[in-house]
Amino acid sequence: MVLEKRNYDYDLKPYYEENKSKKPRKNKKLKNLMLIVFVGFLSFTVLFRYALIYQKSVALSNMEAKVSEIEKLNQQLEVKIASMTDLQRIEDIAKNQLGMVEPENGQIVYMSIGKTNEVAQKKTDDNNKNKTFFGRILGLLVR
């Protein structure tokens, strides 16, 4: 048995390729640059939104303070109105400051104005004229 020399033909690629190594670097640099720009834009957007939220919260707290101040003022004015419309106080001012007196029986005159008030009668007539057929039926059902 004699050993024969066989020719094996393997396709071996070289360990590194010179031409392809330059292009991926440019693409990788470009990808990194785009990633940095995107992250920067995203962080700027987030910071901008937080600034808007802060401004709105400050405006809201200012409005709430104004509302509470106005509510306090409203309560004070309601108390003042209640004290001003007290009938005993009005009578004291009329008698003491303005010099008014109670009327005597001969000074009082009563007048008869009829059974119904004209203004109230006109108002009901206007309401009936403005209603349509379905409006009248609905009005009856609601009552």
For residues 115-126, give the mean pLDDT.
60
**pLDDT, tens digit (0-9, with 9 covering 90-100), for 27-86:** 888 999 999 999 999 999 999 999 999 999 999 999 999 999 999 999 999 999 988 888
Model pLDDT, residue 130: 55
Expressed in angstroms, the distance from the first to the final Cα of the chain is 122
pTM for the complete prediction?
0.43
Structure-token pair, residue 142: 């609601």
The yes-or-no verdict on residue 139 having pLDDT over 90 is: no
pLDDT band at 3 (very low <50, low <70, confident <90, very high): low
Residues 139/131, Cβ–Cβ less than 8 Å = yes
| Chain centre distance of CA 117 | 45
Of 139 and 119, which is predicted with more confidence? 139
The yes-or-no verdict on residue 121 having pLDDT over 90 is: no
